[in-house]
Structure 1
Amino acid sequence: MPIPRRLQRRAFAVTAAGALGLGASRLRGADIDRPFHGVRSIGIDLRELRGRCRAYLPRMRGPEVFSHSTAALLYEIPLPAELEAAPTLHVSSTDDGRPRAVGVTGHRIKRMLRRDDRGLPLASPADTWCQLATQLSLDDLIAAGDAFVSGRLVARGFRVAPLCTRDELRAAIGRHRPARGTAKLGEALEHVRTGVDSRRETHTRLTIVRSGLPEPVIAAPVVVLGGVVLHPDLSYPELKIAIEYEGEEHRLDAARWRDDIARRRALESAGWIVIRVTIADLRAPGGFLADIRAHRRRRLAH
């Protein structure tokens, strides 16, 4: 028996199968997936996070939302690789019942705001950030906060609207009290900044500040030859020193590599010193921090 077209790319409760025209024997067909107990799905990619969330919808009750790292990833917030790859869904409820299912970590949270995102109920961006306090280190919590308040960079100098503001993060901390992680959230908020492009850029900034150096400016505008405006990741504009974080994608993407070379050449032609930082430098930061100090001393001496 062919699957009715109206059921393609859908998930449904087994108890609703009869009304949808599917008998018990048809539910055992190889073309019907069993993502969760009591749920069947057809044509949904269960390898993809949004697909798994869509498949879980038939089990969700009114007070439940996707939360924690699940919501953060749906908001496209960069997280450590182990969380990005984790198959488990995080679901929170504001009533007395804690969501329970194989493949799901359930939470009970007394107060939180919610947002619908393309048909999926999520904890609000600010509440999601608070929930991450139990999953992330302090530095990655700051990086997530940066991403929430910065807006994703879609082209050079252009961003989508931020998901929330620092004031909304602060208000969410108030809702979060006295839950675990509140102290960490308060400390993290002090270091959250806008205009940040990547998780590693945040780590670079924190490494610099913790070494005792002044906090660099994020994405300061620099006019170079031809009136082109560039925005170094981090910089000391008054000294014309730029610090650029370069991930593996910079090396592996030929077009980006060429753009990086042209960008550095343009900055240096305008009298700037460019210090490039990689993941190896963040793991052993003594070298690039010494370079920053040496260049600052020389520039300040003139």
Structure 2
Amino acid sequence: MTMTGIDERRPFLRRDGLAAGITRHRLDGPAFHRLFGTVRVSGEVELTPSLLAAGALLLLPDAAVSHHTAARMLGGIVPHTEETHLTVARPQGRRRRPGLRCHVGPAVRTRRVDGLRVTSPEQTFTDLATHLTLVDLVVLGDSLVHRDATSPDRLLEAAAGARGPGTALARGAAALVRKGVESPMETRSRLLLTFGGLPEPRVNEWVTDEHGRRRYRLDLPYPELRLAFEYDGRQHAQDAAQWGWDVGRREWLDGQGWRLIVLRASDVFTTPWATVLRARDALAQRGFDIELPRQPPREFALHFPGRPWAGSR
């Protein structure tokens, strides 16, 4: 709290800053972030989704934080957007301000997050069915479940009760949400395999030793085949300690008859169909043979387009 009585580290309206004695020159200078035209906050603070939402609600106090902003505040993972999203009950309640996106609809399911009224994880999920792709919506669902914000069953129930645009997508995505997924790339790797026509792997299951003790957890295992797929980001190759641990784990798994196949970003985003065929071959070598076309089916390519020339061999 400053001598003016304004807590400059929390959003406030410019007019309130003027009334408290802060000069126009200072309010409109580099000392403050300028939010949504007329909202100010100290330039020294980080503009988190929660802080931006608090600033937006100064303009629309009866609104609810929703969509992408609500997802982030709830711990979910969604594509980046520069806008802060609110939902108002009536069209005339909207405000046109830079950086602010107003949606119209009933925010009937809300909870308090950081003291702000935010749409529930279930409503946020169904609301975003008109804004996200199927894969991104499953990523959101998996991430909300991982943060214990909701459960697959609650998302299924919410999607079943939804009406209007996006309903079919919400129901399809909710049916694909799984418990135990720890990263967006785990979600994408799992969907890559299943959309490619392969059996769905388990999610983050433990491998035990001969004494029944848990030794290692595998991202996407087929336990009956002793085959597993894992996504590894660049940090594994750059961290010497992590790399050494990975080598030791792989040697132990090899000794137990497991085959571990590592997927990288390019396998998912650049050559997705080639990755499916590679996985098909690995399954076949373990006794599970399945016929797949040389070229990706249209439905698969919609979700994992990759590069036009990639995916056949």
SS in 2 for 1:244: strand
In the alignment, residue 70 of structure 2 is paired with which amino acid?
A: A
The 5 Å alignment of 1:232-271 reads 232-271=218-257
Structure 2: any 5+ residue segments left out of the alignment?
289-313
Distance in structure 2 (CA, Å) of the matches to 1:259 and 1:279: 21
In the alignment, residue 76 of structure 1 is paired with which amino acid?
A: G
Within the alignment, does 1:205 sit opposite 2:190 as a pair?
yes
Calculate the TM-score normalised by the size of structure 1: 0.82
Report how far residue 40 of structure 1 moved: 2.4
Distance in structure 2 (CA, Å) of the matches to 1:61 and 1:123: 14
Shift of the 6–269 alpha-carbon distance from structure 1 to 2, 3 Å rule, reads farther
Contact 1:93 1:99 in 2 (8 A): no
Shift of the 27–188 alpha-carbon distance from structure 1 to 2, 3 Å rule, reads closer
In the alignment, residue 8 of structure 1 is paired with which amino acid?
A: E
Report how far residue 287 of structure 1 moved: 4.3
Structure 2 match to 1:138: 134
CA shift digits 1:206-242 (9 cap, x unpaired): 2212232211111122114883432211111011111
Structure 2 match to 1:71: 70
* Range that drifts further, 17-26 or 44-53: 17-26
SS in 1 for 2:69: helix
Report how far residue 25 of structure 1 moved: 6.4
Structure 2 match to 1:114: 110
SS in 1 for 2:205: coil
Structure 2 match to 1:217: 202
Calculate the TM-score normalised by the size of structure 2: 0.79
Distance in structure 2 (CA, Å) of the matches to 1:164 and 1:3: 43
Percent identity among equivalent residues? 32
Shift of the 29–218 alpha-carbon distance from structure 1 to 2, 3 Å rule, reads closer
SS in 2 for 1:221: strand
Structure 2 match to 1:104: 100
Structure 2 match to 1:155: none
Number of residue pairs the alignment of both structures matches: 284
Contact 2:221 2:229 in 1 (8 A): yes
Report how far residue 244 of structure 1 moved: 0.7
SS in 2 for 1:106: strand
Report how far residue 74 of structure 1 moved: 2.2
The 5 Å alignment of 1:34-73 reads 34-43=34-43, 45=45, 47-62=47-62, 64-73=63-72
Query: RMSD value over aligned CA atoms?
Result: 2.7
CA shift digits 1:20-69 (9 cap, x unpaired): 4546666456534432333222355354433323333322322x122111
Structure 1 match to 2:266: 280
* Range that drifts further, 108-117 or 247-256: 247-256
Distance in structure 1 (CA, Å) of the matches to 2:102 and 2:47: 20
Structure 2 match to 1:91: 86
In the alignment, residue 231 of structure 1 is paired with which amino acid?
A: R
Within the alignment, does 1:194 sit opposite 2:189 as a pair?
no
Shift of the 274–17 alpha-carbon distance from structure 1 to 2, 3 Å rule, reads same
Distance in structure 2 (CA, Å) of the matches to 1:31 and 1:299: 63
Structure 1: any 5+ residue segments left out of the alignment?
152-161
Contact 1:10 1:44 in 2 (8 A): no
CA shift digits 1:238-267 (9 cap, x unpaired): 111111111233333444333333332232
Report how far residue 191 of structure 1 moved: 1.3
Report how far residue 121 of structure 1 moved: 2.5
